[in-house]
Amino acid sequence: MRTIAPFPATRLRRNRRSQALRGLVRETHLSVTDLIWPMFVMEGENAEHPVPSMPGVSRLTIDKVVAAARRAESLGIPAICLFPYVDPSLKTEACENAWDRGNLSNRATRAIREAGIEVAVMTDVALDPYNANGHDGIVKGGEIVNDETVEALAKMALAQAEAGADILGPSDMMDGRIGAIRAILEENGHANVSIMSYSAKYASAFYGPFRDAVGAAGALKGDKKTYQMDPGNADEALRLVERDLMEGADMVMVKPGMPYLDIARAVKDRFRVPTFAYQVSGEYAMLMAAAQNGWLAEEQVMMESLAGFKRAGLDGILTYFAPRAAEILNG
């Protein structure tokens, strides 16, 4: 009887021999139902303005957003996420337009609802598109004031729920906002509206193209380091997620995506709750820029990058690649 295995003891290449075998032993799979498609809304009719730093992405008027939502539905993408390009004349220091029932974002949500499209609508809860200072919070005496901002965010969240949003996405990083939003929703008959908290959102330079897309780059004075996370921290992300879950978040998010997949994995392993990551505008821009230069193979890096999110244990990904990835996944 032979007791010592022949060299090489384990031929791991056997399972990689063919596409069939690779498929058979693949541990994680990307599916269309993992995708959330972020889009930019602007005023007007039947128009779209390309975002220069995001090739293939445009700001859309509400009618075009409705058409895109219909496309998401037919592709099987479960959710879209709306970000408004707010006219500079509506940006104020008090950010009142943020909780206006008839603001651009709320009109877009209503239009999608009225069209009867079966796609979940996620909205952004943060003041930056409405803020003359470009910050996610109200600025007083040079400081981003937490508690006043939380009150504003709660009003904003309620207006979005009333417009018909299914998932609210607080992306502001103020303390206590999840609890305040959950409370105002409960008090006003919106107990079924979900909250996906941007729990671990880092102060990142990868948001640059997004700030161009929503017209916040020009307005922003200073940086967001007093409320968004320090890129050097990991333990703090776990504290934030735990806190947001205690306050009533249904799902949590890590943002940006690719440079923070270690955080995604740590969150998923620790809490075992629906966990998402946002492949942000700068991640999209760098892949697209290299692809446009012929330096990277666009489709392959797109699908490989998205596979990485699944392998890190995530339940879903917000990505500007959503419609193109869905087309490939649908064959």
Phi and psi at 72, nearest 5°, equal -60, -45
- From the list 107-115, 124-132, 138-146, 321-329, the region that binds ligand PBG by CB under 6 A is 124-132
Instruction: Enter the DSSP assignment of 6.
Output: P
Least Cβ distance, residue 261 to ligand PBG (angstroms): 16
- 201 included as an active-site residue: yes
Q: Residues 97, 102, 106, 107: what is their CA dihedral angle, to the nearest 10 degrees?
A: -130
Cβ proximity of 262 and 236 under 8 Å: no
Least Cβ distance, residue 126 to ligand PBG (angstroms): 3
Query: How many angstroms separate the CA atoms of 10 and 16, rounded?
Result: 13
- Pairing verdict, β 143-144 and 139-140: antiparallel
124 binds ligand PBG (CB under 6 A): yes
DSSP per residue, 174-230: -TTHHHHHHHHHHHTT-TT-EEEEEEEEB--GGGHHHHHHTT-TTT--S-STTTSBP
Is the CB of 123 or the CB of 275 nearer to ligand PBG? 123
- 155 included as an active-site residue: no
Residues recorded for the chain? 331
Q: Where are the alpha helices (DSSP H) in 62-123?
A: 62-75, 104-114
Give, as ranges, the residues between 211 and 230 that touch ligand PBG (CB under 6 A): 211, 224
Question: What mask of x and - would describe binding to ligand PBG in positions 134 to 173, judged by CB under 6 A?
Answer: --x----------------------------------xx-
210 binds ligand PBG (CB under 6 A): yes
- Which of 40, 104, 128, 229 binds ligand PBG (CB under 6 A)? It is 128
Question: What mask of x and - would describe binding to ligand PBG in positions 240 to 279, judged by CB under 6 A?
Answer: ----------------------------------------
Q: How many residues bind ligand PBG (CB under 6 A)?
A: 12
- Give ∠ CA 63-65-66 in degrees, rounded to 5: 65
106 binds ligand PBG (CB under 6 A): no
Is the CB of 52 or the CB of 189 nearer to ligand PBG? 52
Is the CB of 115 or the CB of 203 nearer to ligand PBG? 203
126 binds ligand PBG (CB under 6 A): yes
* Terminal-to-terminal C-alpha distance of the chain: 50
207 binds ligand PBG (CB under 6 A): yes
Collapsing DSSP to helix, strand or coil, 164 comes out as coil
Catalytic residue among 64, 201, 224, 268: 201
**Residue positions annotated with a catalytic role:** 201, 255
In the complex, which residues of this chain contact ligand PBG (CB under 6 A)? 124, 126, 128, 136, 171-172, 207, 210-211, 224, 280-281
